[in-house]
Structure 1
Amino acid sequence: MAGKSSWLESGLVILGTAGPTGLTIDKLVAATGLSTGSFYHHFSGMSGYKTALLAYFEDMHTTRYLREVRAAAERLDGRGRLELLIDLVLEDDEPANIEMAVRAWALNDPIAAAAKERVDNARLGFLRILLMESGYAETDAHDIAQILYLLVLGAGSVLPAVPPEQLRELCRRIVG
């Protein structure tokens, strides 16, 4: 299993630096130090690899946060879970360029577009739920979730990068 994880982790790094066209078996082999045979042992060609990479992106950049925040439900109220989510997302050291690369990939690939749409819907839906559990009305929760989401996504596309502490403070100002 370590081999499959290595392929996927390296793929996210390559995706973030070279975009989806940079995802080649040769680059993956060079990045992982694993063999081409290992690649084909885990994936049914590049198409299967790209599908697995998108699922891995979805898990690492969305689902794992939702799992961690849901696991805190017994000890934190809605507001506490919202703050935990913001902290988890903003302390993640994964570069924002991976997120941008997936979004660019989605412009030309229906499988990437479907993955991006699932991620966006999951993130926005979860934010909306946490905001409602924090006392916001449904319409306000919907709007504030969008504002928070767009703020974090947009912050990942500006140079120089917005420091996490500043972004965290902006998010907290939005939620009051």
Structure 2
Amino acid sequence: MTKATPGAAAPARNQLTPEDWINAARNLLVSRSVDAVRVEVLSKELGVTRGSFYWHFKDRDDLLSRMLESWRDEATEQIIHRFERRNLTPRDLIHDLLSLPFRGVSAQEAASTELAIRAWARRDERVRQVLDEVDAKRLSYVSQCFSALGFGIAEARARAFALYSYELSESLLSHQGNDEQKAERRAVMEKLLLTPN
């Protein structure tokens, strides 16, 4: 074991990335509210000085904007890309979409984040606009799946809205019913959504 040389610099600590700050901010958003997402609180949580925040962000608004962009990308763009990469049939894709709220810890974390974003959007018009864009993009994507199954445009949109509403409801009401009851609800929804009138 070597002795430290007097006057030598201490080993460099791992540098925090912008993603570290964004993840910490997201955790505060979920556990408290957007009001708790403050530079001093984050610095304390991460065990660093406030100055290190400014290596990555201009100010708190910059952090909030980038956190929102990160969520939009993860919650919509990346999920759609993952689905498209798998080359599922439209019917299998709808089946898969119906199972999203039941995918363990990652689904619970995603639902908690989304609920926090939706609460934030009630108070901030900029966040509301991003959320509206996300909802519209998701609904459009699911509508295309129903159109590919032969449903007319209006019918495809209505069925997409019903599927999307179901997913949001299961996330909101995640403690309602046991696994068997949740599976029954999902099966009923799938039958209703895929059966032509």
Would you say the 8 A contact 1:155–1:162 is kept in 2? no
Q: How does 1:33-112 map to 2 (within 5 A)?
A: 33-73=47-87, 76-88=88-100, 90-91=102-103, 92-112=107-127
User: What percent of counterpart residues are identical?
Assistant: 22
* Distance in 1 of aligned mates of 2:172 and 2:17: 32
* Distance in 2 of aligned mates of 1:60 and 1:42: 20
**1:142 matches 2:161:** no
One-letter identity of the residue aligned with 2:75: H
Would you say the 8 A contact 1:20–1:105 is kept in 2? yes
CA RMSD across the alignment: 2.4
Q: CA deviation at 1:10?
A: 1.8
Q: CA deviation at 1:85?
A: 3.3
Question: Out of 157, 172, 176, which is 2:190 matched to?
Answer: 172
What is the TM-score normalised by the length of structure 1? 0.84
Unmatched segments (≥5 aa) in structure 1: none
Q: CA deviation at 1:16?
A: 1.1
One-letter identity of the residue aligned with 1:86: L
Q: CA deviation at 1:120?
A: 0.6
Q: CA deviation at 1:35?
A: 3.8
What is the TM-score normalised by the length of structure 2? 0.76
| Corresponding residue for residue 37 of structure 2 | 23
| Corresponding residue for residue 146 of structure 2 | 131
One-letter identity of the residue aligned with 2:93: R
Q: CA deviation at 1:62?
A: 1.4
Q: CA deviation at 1:125?
A: 0.7
Would you say the 8 A contact 1:132–1:141 is kept in 2? yes
- Counting helix residues as a fraction of each chain, which structure ranks higher? 1
Change (3 A) 1:132 1:162: farther
